[in-house]
Amino acid sequence: MGILEVKNVSKNFGGLKALSDVNLSVRENTVHAIIGPNGAGKSTLLNCLVGKLIPDTGSVMFDGQSVLGRHPYEINQMGISRVFQTPEIFGDLTVLENMMIPILAKRDGTFELNALTSIGSQKDVIERAEHMLEEMSMADKRHFHSGSLSRGDKRRLEIAMCLSQEPRLLLLDEPTAGMARADTNNTIDLLKQIKEERDITIAIIEHDMHVVFSLAERITVLAQGTPLVEDTPENIKGHPKVREAYLGESA
């Protein structure tokens, strides 16, 4: 049994079958990659895991509890955190202020932006945010405006924001998309470090095979909303079905 169990999940958008009968089992404390061509249904699947979408059929269980129909905040409280495909930080706020948001939200259950304006009374939150930035090697950038960060540092900040919620499952939707090679390699190193230092399961959607094969212990290949195969990286690499459907090569 995996910590995350997806069973027979289907999702249609009008006449379009985005997901058809998807089964996925993510084992605790592993890095599990979900790969597949554009439009394969990867983000739709992730949206079903975090309460953003409710599948038409099927079940999604995290640690024995259903996530379906729950508010995203509740799912967060269950131990699932997600980095979205498009960066979700406030560009006008500083790195430190962004870092405070999930810490405030976790403490209060709700978040009010004006909590940031009474910054002097948030000493404990500032301390925790600064500590997290230190752990993520971003302390020297804490007063930078987040919008001015490199793509790699924006991702690093988002991942730090997720980790401050102490998730047991971290979901990453194409964390290295559009990055230069150096930033990509830094992100790989960061995720390896996170995996080493914490009890955490990571599910990662990724197009860059260098990232996938550097990190993943299991890989699921999705094509047209259906899992083609789930296996180890070694077996996936040479799989004729994968080469044909995903890489566009005939076997």
Ligand X SMILES: Nc1ncnc2c1ncn2[C@@H]1O[C@H](COP(=O)(O)OP(=O)(O)OP(=O)(O)O)[C@@H](O)[C@H]1O
The residue (of 10 and 137) whose beta carbon lies closer to Mg ion is 10
Spatial distance between the Cα atoms of 177 and 48, rounded to a whole number of angstroms:
21
Instruction: Please enumerate in sequence order all residues whose Cβ is within 8 A of that of 235, keeping only pairs 6 or more positions apart, or say none.
Output: none
The residue (of 43 and 186) whose beta carbon lies closer to Mg ion is 43
Tokens 């049994």 locate to: 1
The residue (of 43 and 81) whose beta carbon lies closer to Mg ion is 43
Spatial distance between the Cα atoms of 125 and 7, rounded to a whole number of angstroms:
39
The one among 18, 126, 190, 245 contacting ligand X by CB under 6 A: 18
What is the β-pairing status of strands 31-35 and 201-205?
A: parallel
- Our finding on whether 43 is near Mg ion (CB under 5 A) is yes
Minimum separation from the CB atom of position 42 to ligand X (A): 3
* Beta carbons within 10 angstroms of residue 147's beta carbon: 12
- Considering CB under 6 A, how many residues would be counted as binding ligand X? 11
Minimum separation from the CB atom of position 136 to ligand X (A): 26
Query: Among 12-20, 59-67, 89-97, 210-218, which window interacts with ligand X (CB under 6 A)?
Result: 12-20
Spatial distance between the Cα atoms of 137 and 189, rounded to a whole number of angstroms:
12
Contacting ligand X within 43-82 (CB under 6 A): 43-44
Sign of the Cα pseudo-torsion (147, 151, 153, 158, in order): positive
Contacting Mg ion within 127-186 (CB under 5 A): none
Applying CB under 6 A, which residues contact ligand X? 13, 16, 18, 36, 38-44
Applying CB under 5 A, which residues contact Mg ion? 42-43
